[in-house]
Amino acid sequence: PARPRVLSGIQPTADSFHVGNYLGAVRNWVAMQETHDTFYSVVDLHAITAGHDPVALRHSTRVAAAQLFAVGLDPERTTLFVQSQVPEHAQLAWVLSCITGFGEASRMTQFKDKSVKQGADRSSVGLFTYPILQAADILLYQADAVPVGEDQRQHLELTRDLAQRFNTRFGRTFTVPAPYIVRDTAKITDLQDPTAKMSKSSSSPAGIIMLLDDPAKSAKKIRSAVTDTGRDILFDPEQKPGVSNLLVIYAALTGRSIDELVEAYEGKGYGDLKKDLAEVVAEFVRPIQQRTQSYLDDPAQLDKLLAIGAEKARAVASVTLREAYDRVGF
């Protein structure tokens, strides 16, 4: 039987992914190549919903793609494409927006969260309709499964509702995608505020370990990570969120279990743990950085890989769009 198809996307909004993106999402994308028919997108259309700089966007889109290849997405097995190169995304999003209720869209909590800064009135309509574009991203590929973190559950629910509604109203067109819950997805917290998630929108860059940062810079951030006044290296996310986060990162990057690490660090101090973790990070990022750089050093080859990805994506997306257009009477 054919492998279940999966679709996921990542925004190119910073020049480097952080360890949270990698351990929480991208690492699983790589693993899913073994079990799924994988479609992954650098979602640059989503990246312009909250204001952006064109030169920076073009650059970070390329860097994002280079990093994704560098961490192990294999262009032979995966369709990796840049969203704006597949016009069907915007086209299907329009159709879906016409079957989405205004009230329904207004209930999306991510818009509420993200528009807090500018105020809802000053936020773009694109930020408001972002989940509808996301639904189009998924439905165009007839994806069976979508890997989701907690923050994306509501959007996937909307996608499922829209697929079912369209199918009911116009005739069976879309696969209704199921959430794919990844076991052992590491949730990485901010080094400076270990109760908050590590995020590119964190208040301080000191809290984020970037895959493409100079290891000396990451070592410094790890050294100054917030811990607590105790001395023992124990895994206790409630009482010791800082130390526990360091253990989670350490375990995930080395494949060692947390229990094993706690045992190995018995009688040692936070300084030892931080020093060793800095080395683990340095070793982990070195080959990724080298491979990313070699993709960026050959822009013609990177463009070619992305053009092939876009062509493979369009081969699927254009069939779905044509069918949806037929159904609605275009």
List residues with catalytic annotation.
114, 197, 200
**Nearest CB to ligand ADP, comparing residues 56 and 264:** 56
CA 233 vs. chain centroid, Å, equals 30
User: Does residue 110 belong to the site contacting ligand ADP (CB under 6 A)?
Assistant: no
Residue 10, SS3 per DSSP: strand
User: Does residue 20 belong to the site contacting ligand ADP (CB under 6 A)?
Assistant: yes
Give the C-alpha separation, 297 to 293, whole Å: 6
3-state secondary structure 31-51: HHCCCCEEEEEECCCHHHCCC
Q: Tokens 């997805």 appear where?
A: 185
**Nearest CB to ligand ADP, comparing residues 26 and 95:** 26
Closest by Cα among 89, 105, 19 to 277: 19
Residue type, 6: V
Give the C-alpha separation, 139 to 191, whole Å: 37
**200 annotated to a ligand binding site:** yes
Single out the residue of 24, 131, 194, 241 in contact with ligand ADP (rule: CB under 6 A).
Answer: 24
**Nearest CB to ligand ADP, comparing residues 159 and 320:** 159
Tokens of 293: 């750089």
Shortest Å distance, C-beta 127 to ligand ADP:
14
**75 annotated to a ligand binding site:** no
**Nearest CB to ligand ADP, comparing residues 184 and 266:** 184
Tokens of 300: 């013609």
Site for ligand ADP in 25-64 (CB under 6 A): 25
Single out the residue of 5, 6, 7, 11 in contact with ligand ADP (rule: CB under 6 A).
Answer: 11
Single out the residue of 5, 6, 7, 10 in contact with ligand ADP (rule: CB under 6 A).
Answer: 10
User: Does residue 73 belong to the site contacting ligand ADP (CB under 6 A)?
Assistant: no
Q: CB–CB of 207/193 below 8 Å?
A: yes
In the complex, which residue's CB is closest to ligand ADP? 24
User: Does residue 149 belong to the site contacting ligand ADP (CB under 6 A)?
Assistant: yes
Give the C-alpha separation, 288 to 161, whole Å: 39
Give the C-alpha separation, 49 to 116, whole Å: 14
**151 annotated to a ligand binding site:** yes
Question: What are the residues binding ligand ADP (CB under 6 A)?
Answer: 10-11, 20-21, 23-25, 149, 187-188, 197-201
Which residues does the annotation place in the binding site for ATP?
A: 11-13, 20-21, 149-151, 188, 197-201
